[in-house]
Amino acid sequence: MARALLIIVLILVLGYGAWKAFPLLAGPDLVIETPTEGQSFPGGFVEITGIAKHSERLSLNGGPLLIDESGHFSTSIVVAPGGAILSLTATDRFGKTTTVRRSVFVPNP
């Protein structure tokens, strides 16, 4: 009886450890809230917002982007008329990366 109880406790502890470790092993999670894919910006000003969980660094088209303590980020950029691809890359402390791209359009004035 004691052996069975010990095995059950061991399985629960290992399961809990795996559940808590999974986000670290899976790498960063990156969600872009705005802009949506193919969104048009007549003025050329594009606001980019989202959440980067389990991330140590975040970059937008190769340049650094600040993340707050809860993983939220927000920035505005000016895009020239025509189409543009925004590329956001999140990197965790183990060097794993996740990249999300959004295409936006700025009509000619």
pLDDT (average), residues 32-59:
92
Which residues, including other chains, have CB under 8 Å from residue 60's CB and lie 6 or more apart? 48, 75, 77, 86, 87, 88
Of the pLDDT bands very low, low, confident and very high (cuts 50, 70, 90), residue 14 is confident
Greatest alpha-carbon pair distance for the chain in Å reads 79
Please state the pTM of the whole predicted model: 0.75
Mean pLDDT to the nearest integer, 42-48: 91
- Average pLDDT (57-66) is 93
pLDDT band at 61 (very low <50, low <70, confident <90, very high): very high
- Per the prediction, the chain carries an average pLDDT of 88
Q: What is the mean pLDDT of residues 85-108?
A: 92
Residue 64 · residue 90 · CB < 8 Å: no
